[in-house]
Chain A
Amino acid sequence: MSNAPSTSPAVDSKTTENQPLLQIRDLQVGFKTQRGFIPAVKGVDLTLNAGQTLAIVGESGSGKSTTAQAIIDLLPGAGKVTGGEILFEGRDLTKLSAKAMQDVRGRLIGYVPQDPMSNLNPVWNIGFQVEEAIRANGVAQGKDARKRTIEVLQEAGLSDAGDRLKQYPHQFSGGMRQRVLIGIGLSARPKLLIADEPTSALDVTVQRTILDHLATLTRDFGTSVLFITHDLGLAVERAEQLVVMYKGRVVEAGPSAEILANPLHPYTQKLVAAAPSLASRRIQSARRPDTTKTLDISSVGAADNELIARADARENTPQKNLITLESVSKIYKIRQGGFKTKELKAVDDVSFAIPRGTTRALVGESGSGKSTVAKLVLQLEDITSGRIDFEGNSVADIRGRDLLAFRRRVQPVFQDPYGSLDPVYSVGDTIAEPLVAHRVGDRKSRQARVRELLDQVALPLSTVNRYPNELSGGQRQRIAVARALALKPDVIVLDEAVSALDVLVQGQILTLLTDLQAELGLTYLFITHDLAVVRLVADTVSVMQKGKIVESATTDEVFDNPQNIYTQKLLEAIPGAHFSFGR
C-alpha cells in the first residue's frame, strides 16, 4: 500500500484552481494524403484550468478528436502537428521527444477512448491490461501492482474485480469494459483526463451511471477533464466550459450553460436547434405547400396552428390498423456446448398496432428485443407464437409468392449506412436493385424511377453513377431510404436508421422521413434507443425492456407523464434532459 499514491495529487487543490493546466495556442494539425496535405485543425485556442471540466463539441470531421489526440501525440500515422503550441503546466508538449512523451501519457494525462468494444486487446485478460498501465507509470510494482489493479477497478465501479481479473474483454459487457478503460485512464492519478466520446457507444442508462461515476472520481482526485462529444446535452450537463468546433476552427467558447442558452455563432445556433431533447416537439408531418425545406422542430408558433389542427384532425380520424402484432413471442435456442441448449425469450408477448400513415416508435436498450421485433415484422425470422397481421391477414407463415408480395410492401432501412450499401454497386444500381429483384418495369422505366427517387430524397441526379465510398454518411442513408421506397411500399421499418448520424444530418433525415410520410402516406415502425429522437417523429411509443413492452401510449403521454418506472429512468438518463436550449 505504501507505494500507492494518495488519493489527491495536489496538496491544496484550492490554490491551483483557476490556473491554466492546459493551454492550446493556435494549434494546427494536418494529414498527409495522396492528394497532398489536408489541414484538419486550423488554429485552435483553448484553455483548461486545473480542476475544471471542458467539453469540445462538434460534428464528425470538425477536428475535435484530432485536437484531443494531438495533445498526447496519438495522431494516426499520417497526422502531424504543423503549428502552434500545447502548453501543459507550462511545458510545450509538441516539442517533447518521443521518450518524454511516454512519461506524460498515462502518468500526467490519462485517456479514455470512445469505443469500449475495440479499445481493449482481445487476447490479454483484463487484469493484465490494467496492471500493465500501473507498472508502466511506476505507480506500483510486484505484488502491490496486482493489489492496486483490483483497487483501480473497484474505484471504477467493478465491485467483483478480484474475481474477474483473469477474464477476457469478450466476457465483459460494453459498460463494464468502459469502466475498465476509465480505470486504466485514471490508474496513475493523472492531472488531466481526456475522454473522447467515452459513452457514445453505450445505452443511455449505462451512460448515466458511468458519467456519474467519472464525475465523482475526477472530483475526488481533483482531475481536470477534457470531454470530446457530439452530444450537446451531455456537454451542458457535465462540463463547465464549452468549445464549439466547426471545420477545424473554434467558432464559440465560454461557459457551457451560457452558450447553449444563447448561442451567438450561426453554426452553434444550428447545432442547438437540431439537438433533440425532451423539450422538442414532433416534426409536423403535414407538408407545407411552398416553404423551403428548413429544419423545423420547434414549430409551435402561431403560423403553425393550422398545421397542428391538421395533425390533430389526422389523429382524431380513426385510421385502420395496417400492422397488428398480437402476443408475439420469439424464442431462440442457444447452444451451450454438447447437446444442451438454453432458451432465450428475445421477444415476450408483444402486442401493438400501427394505424396506416402513422409512426410507432419502439424504444429500449440494447438486448431489449426491439431489433428482433423488426426482424419478425419484416419476416426475416419466424415468430415462435402469436400473430402478425398485415391488412387484416396473417403473414406469420406465408411463403414463396405471397412472401415476395409482402416484401414489396414492407421495406427496411438499417442503422449502418456504411454496411448496408454494397460498395461495388453504384448508387443507381443500388436503388434499382429491388425493382430488378421484383421484375418491375423495364430498363428505361427503372432508370426513370431511380431519378424520381433521388429527387424525392433530395439528392442530385449526378449521384446516380457514384459509389457509396464517395458519399457521406447522411447521403448514404438517403440512398438507403430511396432504395426502400423504390417498390412504393406501405410500411418502412427503420431499425436505428438515424443513430449513426451526426445531429445535423440526423435532423435532415428525420425531416426527410416525415416529409415522405406526409407525401406518400407511409407507415413507419421506428426502432431506436434514442428517446429524444422519438419525440420528433413518433405518434405512438412502446417502451421495451427484456423482451416485454412495459409501456405503450401516445408520444406526448409517454414523455409528459410516464407511468412505468423504467420509462421514467430512461427519460431521466437523457443527458441535458431538463436543460432548455436557446432556440
Chain B
Amino acid sequence: MFRYIGLRLLQLIPVFFGATLLIYFMVFSLPGDPIAALFGERPPPQSVIDTIREQYHLNDPFIVQYLYYVGGILTGDLGTTYSGRPVSDLLGQAFPITFRLAMLALFFEAVAGIAVGLIAGLRKGKFFDASALVVSLLLISVPTFVVGFILQYVFSIQLGLFRTTVGPGAPIQDLILPAIVLATVSFAYIVRLTRASVADNMQADFVRTATAKGLTRGRVVRVHILRNSLIPVVTFLGVDIGSLMVGAIVTEGIFNINGVGGTVYQAIKRGEGPTVVSFVAVMVIIYMLANLLVDLLYAALDPRIRYAK
C-alpha cells in the first residue's frame, strides 16, 4: 500500500518535467515580443530593452531558457514577472483563494449532488425525480456567467445577503455564493450520475437479497445501495477538482476574485513564460494528487480493484 503510494508520488517527477517543458515551449512559440508589449506605444531606448532581454535570457535558445528556469526552481526561485514581481509571490496570492473556492464548491456539489441524486434515484419516475432531471438539465445548458449574474443580482444586490465582490483574504462566508455558482454545472452532473447509479443498483440482485434477509429499508439504502452507487461519483469528483480550479475563471471574473484563472490569463496575454509555466505546473501536481486520492478512495470503496497481494 505505502509502496504503491510511493511509486505514484515518484511518477510526479517525470510528469512535472514533461508538463513544464511542453508549456514552456508553447509559451515560447506564442507570436509577439513580450518586451514590446510591455511598453506599448512608446518604446524605451534600445539599451533598456537589451538589459531586460539579457535579464530574462530572452536572447538564448528555447532549451537554455528552460534550463535556466528549471535551475531556478531547484534553488527555490520561480523567477520574476516582467514587472519585477517574484512569481512565487503571485502563486501565494492567487492559489489560496482559488483553492478555498474550489474546495467549497466541491463540498457543495458533492453533498447536495449526492443527496438529490440519491432521492431522485430511489424515486425514479416520480415527481421529485422528474424535477431533478429538468433542473439539472437547465443548469447544464445555461452558461455559468448567466447563473452567476442572476444569483449575484438576487442574493447580493437585491437581498444583500452576500457581498458582491470578494477581495483578497476574504472570509469564507464571502466565498459561499461564488462557490455555489462555480458548483452548479458539476452539481447537475453529479445529480444525474448518482441518480442513474442508484437506479441501477436498486435493480441489482444483491439489493433484493439484502431485502430478503429482513433488513430495514433504511439499512438497505445506506449499506447496499449508497456505497455501490458512489463509485462512479467519486471518480467524477476527483477529475472535477482540477476543472474547478482552472474553470473558476468565469466565476472569479463575476465576483472580482483575484484567483488562478485570471492571473494565468493575464500572464498568457503578456507572454510571461515563468509565470504561466509555474502556475500550470502547480495545476498538474494538484491534478495528479487528486487522481491518486481518487484511486485510493476507489480501492477503499470497491474491494474488487484492490491490488493483488
- On B, residues with C-beta under 8 Å from A are 124, 202-217, 219, 223-224, 227-228, 301-304, 307-309
**Closest beta carbon of chain A to B208's beta carbon, Å:** 6
Q: Assess whether B203 is in contact with A76, with CB atoms less than 8 Å apart.
A: yes
Instruction: Say yes or no: B205 contacts A102, CB within 8 Å.
Output: no
Taking a contact as CB atoms closer than 8 A, the residue among B208, B217, B303 that contacts A125 in the complex is B303
Interface string of A102-120 (1 = CB under 8 A from B): 1111110011011100111
Q: Smallest Cβ distance from B8 to chain A, in angstroms?
A: 16
Q: Does A361 contact B (CB under 8 A)?
A: no
- A123 near B228 with CB under 8 A, answer yes
Q: Find the residue from A104, A113, A121, A137 having the highest chain B CB count within 10 A.
A: A121
Query: Which of chain B's residues have a CB closer than 8 A to the CB of A170?
Result: 303-304
Interface core residue of B203, B209, B308 (most chain A CB under 10 Å) = B209
- The count of residues in chain A whose C-beta lies closer than 8 Å to any C-beta of chain B is 36
Find chain A residues with CB under 8 A from B210 CB.
Answer: 121, 132
B209 and A105: CB pair below 8 A?
no
B303 near A184 with CB under 8 A, answer no
Residues of A within 8 A of B (CB): 72, 74, 76-77, 98, 102-107, 110-111, 113-115, 118-125, 132-133, 136-137, 168, 170, 181, 184-185, 188, 336-337
Q: Which of A106, A114, A337 makes the CB contact (< 8 A) with B213?
A: A106
Which residues of A have CB within 8 Å of B224? 121, 124
Expressed in whole angstroms, the Cα–Cα distance for A149 and B224 within the complex equals 19
Are A120 and B206 neighbours in the complex by a CB distance under 8 Å? yes
Q: Which residue of A lies closest to B208 (CB)?
A: A74
User: Which one of B216, B224, B303 has the greatest number of beta carbons of chain A within 10 Å?
Assistant: B303
CA of A104 to CA of B211, assembled, Å: 11
Separation of A125 and B306 alpha carbons in the complex (Å): 13
- The answer to whether B213 touches A168, judged by C-beta atoms less than 8 angstroms apart, is no
A418 to B304, CA, bound (A): 26
- With the chains together, A396 CA to B303 CA distance in Å? 40
On whether the beta carbons of A188 and B301 are closer than 8 Å, the reply is no
User: Known contacts A118-B204, A136-B219; is A113 also within 8 Å of B304 by CB?
Assistant: no
Secondary structure call for the A interface = loop
Shortest CB-to-CB span from A187 to chain B, Å, is 8
| Contact present for A74 and B203 (CB under 8 Å) | no
Which B residues are CB-close (under 8 A) to A111?
209, 212-213
| A121: nearest chain-B partner, CB-CB | B206
CA distance A110 to B208 in the complex (A): 12
Assembly CA distance A5 to B308 (angstroms) = 39
Q: Are A168 and B211 in contact (CB under 8 A)?
A: no
User: What A residues does B301 contact at CB under 8 A?
Assistant: 123
Q: Which residue of B lies closest to A336 (CB)?
A: B308
Q: Which of B124, B205, B211, B303 contacts A118 (CB 8 A)?
A: B205
17 contacts between A and B (CB under 8 A): A74-B212, A77-B202, A77-B203, A102-B217, A106-B214, A106-B215, A107-B214, A111-B213, A113-B208, A118-B206, A121-B206, A121-B207, A121-B210, A122-B206, A124-B227, A137-B213, A188-B214
| Measured CA separation A518–B303 after assembly (Å) | 52
> Once the chains are docked, how many angstroms separate the CA of A119 from the CA of B214?
15
How many residue pairs link A and B with beta carbons under 8 A? The number is 91
Report the Cα distance A120→B308, complex, angstroms.
21
Distance to closest chain B CB from A480 (angstroms): 26
CB distance from B59 to the nearest CB of A (A): 49
Beyond A102-B215, A106-B215, A119-B208, 6 additional contacts (C-beta under 8 Å) are A119-B206, A119-B209, A132-B215, A184-B209, A185-B212, A337-B309
A123 touches B227 (CB 8 A): yes
Q: What is the bound-complex CA distance between A133 and B224, given in angstroms?
A: 13
Q: Inside 8 A of B214's CB, which chain A residues have their CB?
A: 102-107, 133, 136-137, 188
Report the bound CA distance from A123 to B304 in whole Å: 7
Query: Roughly how many angstroms separate A105 CA and B208 CA in the complex, as a whole number?
Result: 11
> Which residues of B are found within 8 Å of A113, using beta-carbon distances?
205, 208-209, 212
Given contacts A132-B223, A168-B304, A170-B304, contact A121 B228 (CB under 8 A): yes
Q: Which residues of the other chain, A, contact B227 by a CB distance below 8 angstroms?
A: 123-124
A20 to B135, CA, bound (A): 54
Q: Is the CB of B212 within 8 A of A106?
A: yes
List, in ascending order, chain B residues with CB within 8 A of A72's CB.
Answer: 212
Check B213 against A184 for contact (C-beta < 8 Å): yes
A133 and B208 contacting across the interface, CB-CB below 8 Å: no
Which one of B206, B216, B228 lies within 8 Å of A136 (CB-CB)?
B216
Of B202, B207, B223, B307, the contact of A337 (CB 8 Å cutoff): B307
A337 CA / B302 CA spacing, docked (Å): 19
The 6 A-B residue pairs with the shortest CB-CB distance, nearest first, are: A106-B214, A111-B212, A133-B213, A118-B205, A105-B214, A121-B206
In the complex, chain A residues whose CB is within 8 Å of the CB of B215 = 102, 106, 132-133, 136
Of all chain A residues, the one with the shortest Cβ separation from B210 is A121
Complex Cα spacing A116 to B223, Å = 19
Contacts of B209 in A (CB 8 A): 111, 113, 119-120, 181, 184
Residue of B nearest to A338 (CB): B308
Q: Are B217 and A98 in contact (CB under 8 A)?
A: yes
Q: Report Cα–Cα, A133/B223, bound state, in Å.
A: 13
> Chain A nearest CB: distance from B142 CB in Å?
31
Residues of B within 8 A of A123 (CB): 227-228, 301-304
Shortest distance in angstroms between A149's beta carbon and chain B's nearest beta carbon?
13
CB distance from A364 to the nearest CB of B (A): 27
What are the residues of chain B within 8 A of A103 when measuring CB–CB? 214
- Identify which of A98, A107, A122, A336 contacts B302 (C-beta below 8 A): A122
Quote the shortest CB–CB distance from B304 to chain A (angstroms). 5
Known contacts A120-B206, A121-B206, A136-B219; decide if A337 and B211 are in contact (CB<8 Å): no
Is A132's CB under 8 angstroms from B213's CB?
yes
Chain A residues lying within 8 Å of B205, measured Cβ to Cβ, are: 113-115, 118-119
Q: Once the chains are docked, how many angstroms separate the CA of A26 from the CA of B124?
A: 31
Q: Which residues of B contact A102 (CB under 8 A)?
A: 214-217
| Cα-based distance from A77 to B125 in the complex (angstroms) | 11
Chain A residues within an 8 Å CB radius of B204: 118
Residues of chain A contacted by B303 (CB below 8 angstroms): 122-123, 125, 168, 170
A6 to B304, CA, bound (A): 37
Distance between A180 CB and nearest chain B CB, rounded to angstroms: 10
Given A118-B205, A119-B206: A124 and B223 interface contact (C-beta under 8 Å): yes
Q: How far is the CA of A34 from the CA of B205 in the complex (A)?
A: 23
B253 to chain A, nearest CB (A): 42
Q: Identify the closest chain B residue to A106 (Cβ).
A: B214
